[in-house]
Amino acid sequence: MSSRNRKKLVIDANLAFGSSDPMYNPMSDVAGDMNRRCLEAVWEEGHVAVFNEQLRREWRDHAGRSARRWLQTMELKNRVVDEEGKEFLALLTPACGCQSTNRHKADLEKDFHLVRSALATEQTIISLETKFPTFIAKACSAVQELTSLYYANPAVEGDACRRWIKAGAEKDADRRIDSWVENYLKS
């Protein structure tokens, strides 16, 4: 992939935690193997990983050996950027206001750092979370900026997620976070 087609992707630490170590089967449908294949696809296609302070801490605390090696290689090749997205912190309060329970508000707040970094870069998040995108989708009508987020989840999508990364991680309409929830979680 040419450098102009590279995408900046916020990659949640749960992919790093779930990457298969030490037994890796590149043909397996096991979740850890799928996560590792997605990370490899990010590398192979020349995409850039977006981090913030909290996400780096989560990766440091939870990443398996292969994910740590992947991140080191990405850093050596200058394919990691740091973006806190602090200018989007003000969106948290109205987004939490759309949630029906205090638990949902707390869960959204816990992962809102992903939203901030995504909004500050190319608006794309790859994560294994299923509740988190539903909280964001619920807030989209009240917080219009959230409709610019795109989402991918290898645990839900299987190999289609890896193929999407390999094809350029484009912002297709069905990947917009509210559409993604409707297409993948409401069925």
The 3-class SS string of 102-139 reads: HHHHHHHHHHHHHHHHHHHCCCEEECCCCHHHHHHHHH
For 185, the 3-state DSSP assignment is: coil
- Confidence bin at 136 (pLDDT 50/70/90): very high
Q: Is the per-residue pLDDT at 128 higher than 60? A: yes
Q: Mean pLDDT across the stretch 180-187?
A: 88
Pairing of strands 80-82, 48-51: parallel
- Confidence bin at 24 (pLDDT 50/70/90): very low
Q: Is the per-residue pLDDT at 106 higher than 60? A: yes
Fold classified for 3-184: Rossmann fold (3.40.50)
Alpha carbon separation from 134 to 50, 137, 176 (Å, rounded) = 22, 5, 12
- Dig out the tokens for 166 from the structure: 């390999």
Amino acid 19: pLDDT: 64
- Dig out the tokens for 102 from the structure: 């205090």
Q: Where are the alpha helices (DSSP H) in 2-30?
A: 13-17
Alpha carbon separation from 167 to 38, 42, 97, 120, 170 (Å, rounded) = 12, 10, 37, 23, 8
Q: Mean pLDDT across the stretch 109-130?
A: 97
